[in-house]
Structure 1
């Protein structure tokens, strides 16, 4: 339980690498990067795993990365969205339960769940299972009107909002997520890309 959010709170932020349309057809892999930081100031480590494009292994990869890491003082997991490697839907509550850490999903645009459900039904034989995971996710909270939203498991919304503020240095995205995005894109393309 997080009673007070300290400026140096240990967090890990996960993002995935880029992939092509053809890699979706072949079910290739993309990189999953977790950047471990003290607040928004100091990087203390990086975690990595490979996940299947449009697969269902993102949650397992995150659980393994956190639970098998040497970073035993982590307090929070930050996610950049609820889907990784295309449509690998993260089971937010299971990630929270199996790591023992609160999970905060941060997004810049409010997800269009109807459009996501439509795409899943059109392209995936297991669409109903994936849609069920989306529906089980925590409620979406607007932090900055029309600019920043979050979902939180294992931590009250007010505390989650404070953690987002403490871990953000510039712009709207928490620093661990911003750096994870840069590293993941560089691994996959040879150069980091903008958010």
Structure 2
């Protein structure tokens, strides 16, 4: 339980690398990067794992990265959305329960869950299981009208929004997520892309 969000709160933010449509067809992998930071200014470390494009291993790899890292003083996991590497859906409740850490999902656009469900039903035999994970996630909370939304598991919404504010330095996205995006894109394409 986080009683007070300190300026130097230790968080880890995860984002995935790019992938091609053909990599979806072949079940290839993309990089998953976690950036560990103190607040919004000091990078403490970087974690990496490989996840399957459109697979079912994102939750396992994030749990593994957090539990087996040397970073024992993490307070919050930040995610850039609930799906990685296409439709590799993260089980937020399981991630929280198995790491013992609150999870805050940050997104800039409200996802169209109906469109996601239709795509899943059209392309995946296990669509029901993936849709169940989407529906099990907590509701989106709008932090900035039509610009920034969060979902929080294991932490009160007010504290989750404080974590987002405390870890954001420039723009709208927390610094651990912004840097994870840049590193992941550089690993996959040879050059970072702007968040």
Q: TM-score range by the shorter chain?
A: over 0.9
Q: Does 1:41 align with 2:41?
A: yes
Aligned runs of 1:79-98 on 2, under 5 Å? 79-98=79-98
Corresponding residue of 1:194: 194
Determine the C-alpha separation between the residues in 2 that align with 1:168 and 1:122: 37
SS state at 1:122 partner? helix
Within 1, Cα distance between the matches of 2:42 and 2:168? 12
Deviation of the 1:35 alpha carbon = 0.1
Structure 1: which 5+ residue stretches go unaligned? Answer: none
- Tell me the SS of whatever aligns to 1:169: coil
Residue in 2 that maps onto 1:71? 71
- Output the CA distance in 1 between the equivalents of 2:122 and 2:193: 30
Q: Distance in 2 between matches of 1:143 and 1:76?
A: 18
Shift of 1:89: 0.4
Q: CA deviation at 1:178?
A: 0.2
Tell me how far 1:112 sits from its aligned partner.
0.6
Q: Structure 1: how far apart are the matches of 2:139 and 2:93? A: 12
Runs of 4+ in 1 over 2 A off after TM superposition: none
Equivalent residue pairs, number? 195
Alignment partners' CA distance in 2, 1:194 and 1:179: 10
**SS of corresponding position for 1:188:** helix
Give the equivalent residue in structure 1 for 2:172.
172
Deviation of 1:50 after TM superposition, in Å, equals 0.3
Aligned Cα root-mean-square deviation (Å): 0.4
Q: Which residue of 1 aligns with 2:114?
A: 114
Structure-2 separation of matches of 1:93 and 1:38: 24
Per-residue deviation, 1:83? 0.0
In the alignment, the residues of structure 2 paired with residue 119 and residue 105 of structure 1 have an alpha-carbon distance, to the nearest angstrom, of 22
- 1:194, CA displacement in angstroms? 1.5
Distance 2:138 2:187 in 1: 31
CA distance in 2, matches of 1:121, 1:194: 32
Q: What residue is the counterpart of 1:185 in the other structure?
A: 185
C-alpha distance in structure 2 between counterparts of 1:36 and 1:124, whole Å: 33
SS in 2 for 1:120: helix
What residue in structure 2 maps to residue 144 of structure 1? 144
Shift of 1:139: 1.1
Partner SS for 1:152: strand
Unaligned runs of 5+ residues in structure 2 are none
1:40 and 1:75 map into 2 onto residues whose CA distance is 14
Q: Whole-Å Cα distance in 1 between the matches of residues 101 and 123 of structure 2? A: 33
**SS at the partner of 1:176?**
helix
Give secondary structure in 1 for the equivalent of 2:122. helix
